[in-house]
A and B are shown apart, each in its own frame.
With several copies, the nearest count.
Chain A
Amino acid sequence: MSELNLRYFAWVRERIGTSQESIELPGNVATVADLLGWLKTRGPEYEHAFEQADVIRTAIDQTHVPHETPLAGAREVAFFPPMTGG
């Protein structure tokens, strides 16, 4: 098991109620999609934040990645809605 820093932004952050947390990654969680699925089991606030998993964007160590990306070597994983800057 390895320590992973999770970050949430915008309405993902609001729904979960925290902007970041550290977790011990369960052994059966290999990809970003696995992590999303596992987070949804942690309570109704996570369930609500990730209810439409397909709109959630993800980054590993501050680089955009698709959901199927392996977590091996990751230190920080971020979850957020589509960007609306500019």
Chain B
Amino acid sequence: MATVRVQAEPFDAATEVREITRGRPDIGAVVTFTGLCRDEGGTLAALELEHYPGMAEAEIARVAAEAEARWPITGLTAIHRFGKIAPGDDIVLVVAASAHRAAAFEAAEFLMDFLKTRAPFWKKEHRLDGTAGDWVEAKDADDAATVRWRKDG
């Protein structure tokens, strides 16, 4: 059963890895993915992350359950922040653990690909020059990234 959290507070990857690996000497591989707020060439003051409370957790949990059904993973954690996030700060964390590396890598990538296209979060940019920020546009590349996981593909 995956650990899923949606929170304003920062997270600590090392703590989450410890939670997953403690007392589990059958784990041979741990993959973490951390998504950070880029400064967009020094133009960005902050990202503001809006989310749909309740559905955000539920949707990430659904994707995590799919990953757990698909790969022999021993531990899976996904944490997504909301609110104002400064450049260089963390936005999202995925931790996947397994006996072997391929499952850990694939589960983490799968979770990130679907989290990006299915979890109800929206990013708005606040610019350093004070101009009204734009909503970040969804990228076709993110939809394309989910296609490779089709089992009938």
Seen from chain A, the residues whose Cβ lies within 8 Å of a Cβ on chain B are 7, 9-11, 13, 59, 62-64, 78, 80-86
Q: Is A83's CB under 8 angstroms from B116's CB? A: yes
B96 interface hit (Cβ, 8 Å) = no
Contacts of A80 in B (CB 8 A): 52, 120, 122
B137 interface hit (Cβ, 8 Å) = yes
Q: Is A59's CB under 8 angstroms from B120's CB? A: yes
Stretch at the interface among B18-26, B54-62, B67-75: B54-62
Given contacts A81-B138, A84-B123, 12 further A-B contacts (CB under 8 A): A10-B135, A11-B135, A59-B120, A62-B52, A62-B58, A78-B55, A80-B120, A83-B122, A84-B137, A85-B51, A86-B91, A86-B142
Residue interface bits B101-128, CB-to-A below 8 A is 1, else 0: 1000000000010011111111110000
Seen from chain B, the residues whose Cβ lies within 8 Å of a Cβ on chain A are 35, 49-52, 54-56, 58-59, 80, 91-92, 101, 112, 115-124, 135-138, 142
In the assembled complex, the Cα of A75 lies from the Cα of B80 at a distance in Å of 26
17 interchain pairs, CB-CB under 8 A: A9-B122, A10-B124, A11-B135, A59-B55, A62-B58, A78-B52, A83-B119, A83-B122, A83-B138, A85-B49, A85-B56, A85-B120, A85-B121, A85-B122, A86-B35, A86-B116, A86-B119
Task: With both chains docked as a complex, state the minimum distance between the C-beta of B52 and any C-beta of chain A, in angstroms.
Answer: 6
- A-B pairs, top 8 by smallest CB distance, nearest first, are A85-B121, A82-B138, A86-B116, A62-B55, A10-B122, A84-B136, A84-B123, A85-B119
